[in-house]
Amino acid sequence: MNLERLPNEEKLSLCRKYYLGGFAFLPFLWLVNVVWFFREAFLKPSYTEQLQIKAYVKRSALGLLLWVAVLTTWITIYQHFRAEWGEVGDYLSFTIPLGIP
């Protein structure tokens, strides 16, 4: 899909859909949105829809940062305290490393 060839309304619509989709626990979608539309939103000479696209990209970036923060915190907590949590830790674990923690 080449963004160059799309008319502006389509770009806006696509950006919007990606933005809305990200709310379904899909930070990756927001990441894709930001990276893909970055040039469109910030580095291109302005056109009518650009303002809205910019807004969507910014909000996606915000949401992405939030998710990254939450996930990093959780992963750190998990990795650090997994052994100490005993049963709960094992229950949460998908793979349990061998050996002594």
Q: Which residues bind another protein (CB under 8 A)?
A: 1-2, 5-7, 10, 14, 21, 24-29, 32, 35-36, 71, 74-75, 78-79, 82, 92-99
Least Cβ distance, residue 15 to another protein (angstroms):
11
Smaller CB separation from another protein, 32 or 61: 32
Least Cβ distance, residue 58 to another protein (angstroms):
19
What lies within 8 Å, CB to CB, of 36 at 6+ separation is 3, 18
- The residue behind tokens 């809205």 is 52
CB 3 within 8 A of CB 36: yes
Alpha helices in 22-86 (DSSP H): 27-38, 50-81
Least Cβ distance, residue 84 to another protein (angstroms):
13
Smaller CB separation from another protein, 10 or 65: 10
CB 44 within 8 A of CB 8: no
